[in-house]
C-alpha cells in the first residue's frame, strides 16, 4: 500500500468519479487508509447534499412577462416562405391539381423560353420592330401634345424659323413656366393672408 | 413547412428549438423559457439570495438571450450560453450592490467614538413578510446557508457542477474561466462547505436537513 495520504485534488478526482489513468491506485489507497477514507466520505457527503438541493420555480407567468418584452424577429426568407405556404392547398386532391397546373405551366414557360433562345435572329428582329414602333409612337404623341398646347400656326412658324424658332419656343416655355409658378405662389400667399 | 406543435417542441433537442426560434417561431421562444426558467432562476436566486430581485434578474436574462437569439452560435451549447448570461447578470448585480453598500457600523473614516456613533444607524425591526418567510424556507437548510456564505465565483462554479451537473470544461466555457481556475474554485468551495458543515456531523444531523 502507498503510505502517502491523498492530496486534496486527488480526493476531488474520486468525488467526481473520474476513471482516468492513475485513479485506480488512489482507490486502492483509500480502501486501506481509514484517514483518507473518512476524508473521501466527508467530501462525498457534501457533493451528494449539493446534488440533492432542489430547483426553485419562479413566480407564475415568467413566460408571458418575458414574451411581452421580447420582439420576435422573423427573417425575410422565412416570412416569404410562410406567405408561399399559405397558397398551398391543404386537401390532397387540390394539392395534386395545383401541382399539375404548376407543372404544365412551368413546362410551357420553359419550352417557350428555350424556343426563343434558339431563335436569336427572330428575337432581334421582333425587338427591333417593337423598338421602332415605340419610338414612332412616342414622337407622334409629343408632336400632338405640342400642337395641342401651342396651336398649329405657332408650330408652323417654329418649323419655318428652324433652330431659332425652337430656341424661341423653349425660351417662351421657360418664361411661361416661371410666370405660372410665381402667379400660383402669389395667389396662395394672398389666400393665406385673407384666411 | 409543417407547423411544430407545442408537444413536438417539448421533445426536440435544444439546438432544434433554438433553430426554430431563430426563424421567428414564438412557440419555440416560449419552449426555451419553459425549459430553463427553473434552472436559471435557481442559479440566480442562490447567487443573489433575494427572491424578488432574482425574479427580475431572471427576466432580464431571458430578455437578453431571446432578443439576441439570432446571434447565438450553434457550436456552443445553448444552456452554456444561457447560464453564462445569467451568471453575468447576477455577478454584475452583486458588484453594483457591493459598491452601493453602506456600513451600519458607522463611517470607516470616523476618527473617534462620537463620530462613529453619529455616522452609524440601526435598521428598524420588522416582522418577517410572507416573501421573506418563503425565502427562509427555500434557502434555509444548512447546505443552502453554507452555499450563501461562499464567494460568488465559488458559488457559481459549485452550483453549475453539482446542481446543473456540468462538466469542468462546460463550466470553464460558461464562466469564461481557465479550466485550472474552475478546478481550483470547485476544490476550494467543497473545502469551505465541508468546514461550514462540519458541526452538523458532530451534532449528528444529515447536512441536507434543517436542524430543529
Question: Which of A53, A66, A82 is opposite residue B144, by nearest beta carbon?
Answer: A53
Instruction: Determine whether the interchain pair B29/A70 forms a contact, defined as Cβ–Cβ distance below 8 Å.
Output: yes
- Cell numbers given for B60: 432580464
**Residue B34: what pLDDT?**
95
**Residue A159: what pLDDT?**
75
- Cell numbers given for B105: 457600523
Q: Is the pLDDT of residue A169 over 90?
A: no
Contact residues, chain A, for B194 at CB < 8 Å: 42-43, 46
Spatial distance between the Cα atoms of A117 and A72, rounded to a whole number of angstroms: 46
Question: Which of A56, A70, A78 is opposite residue B66, by nearest beta carbon?
Answer: A70
Lowest mean pLDDT among A132-141, A183-192, B92-101: B92-101
Question: Which of B37, B63, B158 is opposite residue A70, by nearest beta carbon?
Answer: B63
Neighbouring CB atoms inside 10 A of B16's CB total 14
With an 8 Å Cβ cutoff, is B137 touching chain A? no
Best mutation target, A69, A73, A77, to test chain B (most B CBs within 10 A)? A73
The residue of chain A with its CA nearest to that of B2 is: A85
Contact residues, chain B, for A15 at CB < 8 Å: 190
pTM of the prediction? 0.66
Contacts 24+ apart (CB under 8 A), B192-197: B192/B146, B192/B149, B192/B150, B192/B154, B193/A46, B193/A50, B193/B143, B193/B146, B193/B147, B193/B150, B193/B158, B194/A42, B194/A43, B194/A46, B196/B146, B196/B149, B197/A46, B197/A49, B197/B142, B197/B143, B197/B146
In which band, very low, low, confident or very high, does the pLDDT at B212 lie, cut at 50, 70 and 90? very low
- What's the pLDDT tens digit per position in A12-28? 889 888 887 788 888 88
- What's the pLDDT tens digit per position in A21-77? 788 888 889 898 999 999 899 889 888 888 889 999 999 999 999 999 998 888 888
Residues 143-162 of chain A with CB under 8 A from chain B are: none
Lowest mean pLDDT among A21-35, A142-156, B175-189: A142-156
Burial, B33: exposed, middle or buried (Cβ in 10 Å; 0-12, 13-18, 19+)? Answer: buried
Question: Which of A53, A57, A72 is opposite residue B143, by nearest beta carbon?
Answer: A53
- Cell numbers given for A51: 446534488
Q: Is the pLDDT of residue B27 over 80?
A: yes
Instruction: Determine whether the interchain pair A12/B33 forms a contact, defined as Cβ–Cβ distance below 8 Å.
Output: no
With an 8 Å Cβ cutoff, is A86 touching chain B? no
User: A160 vs A24, A101, A151, A155, CA distance in Å?
Assistant: 115, 62, 15, 9
Nearest Cα of chain B lies from the Cα of A138 at a distance, in angstroms, of: 49
**Residue B75: what pLDDT?**
84
With an 8 Å Cβ cutoff, is B203 touching chain A? no
Q: Which of A163-167, B49-53, B121-125 has the highest mean pLDDT?
A: B49-53
Per DSSP, chain B holds a count of helices (H) and strands (E) of 11, 0
- % of residues, chain A, pLDDT over 70: 98
C-alpha neighbours within 13 Å on the C-beta side of residue B180: 0
With an 8 Å Cβ cutoff, is A1 touching chain B? no
- % of residues, chain B, pLDDT over 90: 55
Q: Is the pLDDT of residue B102 over 50?
A: no
* DSSP, res A192: H
Instruction: Determine whether the interchain pair B63/A72 forms a contact, defined as Cβ–Cβ distance below 8 Å.
Output: no
Residues 53-112 of chain B with CB under 8 A from chain A are: 54-55, 58-59, 62-63, 66-67, 69-70
With an 8 Å Cβ cutoff, is A84 touching chain B? no
- What's the pLDDT tens digit per position in B42-52? 999 999 999 99
* DSSP, res B70: G
- What's the pLDDT tens digit per position in B56-76? 999 999 999 999 999 898 888
Instruction: Determine whether the interchain pair B66/A79 forms a contact, defined as Cβ–Cβ distance below 8 Å.
Output: no
Best mutation target, A8, A42, A50, to test chain B (most B CBs within 10 A)? A50
Find the helix or strand (DSSP H, E) in which B74 lies.
Answer: none
Best mutation target, A14, A43, A58, A67, to test chain B (most B CBs within 10 A)? A58
Q: Is the pLDDT of residue A158 over 60?
A: yes
- What's the pLDDT tens digit per position in A80-105? 888 888 888 888 888 889 899 999 99
Amino acid at each position: 500500500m502507498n503510505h502517502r495520504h491523498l492530496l486534496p485534488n486527488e480526493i476531488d478526482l474520486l468525488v467526481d468519479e473520474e476513471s482516468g489513468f492513475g485513479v485506480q491506485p488512489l482507490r486502492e489507497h483509500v480502501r486501506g487508509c481509514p484517514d483518507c477514507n473518512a476524508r473521501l466520505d466527508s467530501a462525498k457527503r457534501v457533493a451528494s447534499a449539493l446534488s440533492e438541493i432542489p430547483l426553485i420555480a419562479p413566480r407564475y407567468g415568467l413566460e408571458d412577462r418575458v414574451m411581452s418584452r421580447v420582439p420576435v424577429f422573423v427573417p425575410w426568407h422565412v416570412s416569404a416562405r410562410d406567405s408561399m405556404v399559405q397558397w398551398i392547398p391543404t386537401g390532397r386532391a387540390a394539392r395534386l391539381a395545383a401541382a399539375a397546373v404548376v407543372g404544365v405551366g412551368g413546362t410551357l414557360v420553359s419550352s417557350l423560353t428555350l424556343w426563343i433562345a434558339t431563335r436569336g435572329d427572330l428575337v432581334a428582329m421582333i425587338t427591333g420592330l417593337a423598338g421602332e414602333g415605340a419610338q414612332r409612337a412616342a414622337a407622334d404623341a409629343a408632336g400632338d401634345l405640342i400642337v395641342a398646347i401651342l396651336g398649329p400656326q405657332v408650330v408652323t412658324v417654329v418649323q419655318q424659323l428652324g433652330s431659332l424658332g425652337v430656341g424661341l419656343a423653349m425660351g417662351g416655355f421657360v418664361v411661361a413656366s416661371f410666370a405660372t409658378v410665381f402667379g400660383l405662389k402669389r395667389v396662395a400667399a394672398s389666400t393665406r393672408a385673407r384666411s | 413547412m409543417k407547423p411544430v406543435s407545442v408537444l413536438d417542441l417539448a421533445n426536440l433537442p435544444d439546438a432544434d428549438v433554438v433553430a426554430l426560434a431563430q426563424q421567428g417561431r414564438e412557440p419555440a421562444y416560449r419552449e426555451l423559457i419553459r425549459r430553463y426558467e427553473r434552472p436559471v432562476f435557481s442559479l440566480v436566486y442562490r447567487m443573489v439570495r433575494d427572491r424578488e430581485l432574482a425574479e427580475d434578474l431572471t427576466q432580464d436574462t431571458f430578455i437578453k438571450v431571446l432578443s439576441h437569439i439570432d446571434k447565438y452560435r450553434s457550436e456552443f451549447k445553448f444552456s452554456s450560453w444561457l447560464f453564462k448570461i445569467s451568471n453575468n447578470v447576477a455577478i454584475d448585480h452583486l458588484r453594483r450592490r457591493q459598491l452601493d453598500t453602506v456600513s451600519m457600523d458607522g463611517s470607516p473614516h470616523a476618527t473617534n467614538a462620537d463620530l462613529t456613533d453619529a455616522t452609524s444607524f440601526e435598521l428598524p425591526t420588522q416582522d418577517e413578510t410572507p416573501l421573506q418567510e418563503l425565502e427562509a424556507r427555500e434557502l434555509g437548510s444548512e447546505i443552502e446557508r453554507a452555499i450563501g456564505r461562499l464567494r460568488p465565483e465559488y458559488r457559481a462554479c459549485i452550483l453549475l457542477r453539482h446542481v446543473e451537473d456540468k462538466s469542468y470544461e462546460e463550466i470553464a466555457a460558461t464562466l469564461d474561466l481557465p479550466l485550472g481556475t474552475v478546478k481550483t474554485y470547485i476544490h476550494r468551495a467543497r473545502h469551505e462547505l465541508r468546514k461550514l458543515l462540519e458541526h452538523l456531523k458532530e451534532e449528528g444531523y444529515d447536512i441536507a436537513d434543517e436542524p430543529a
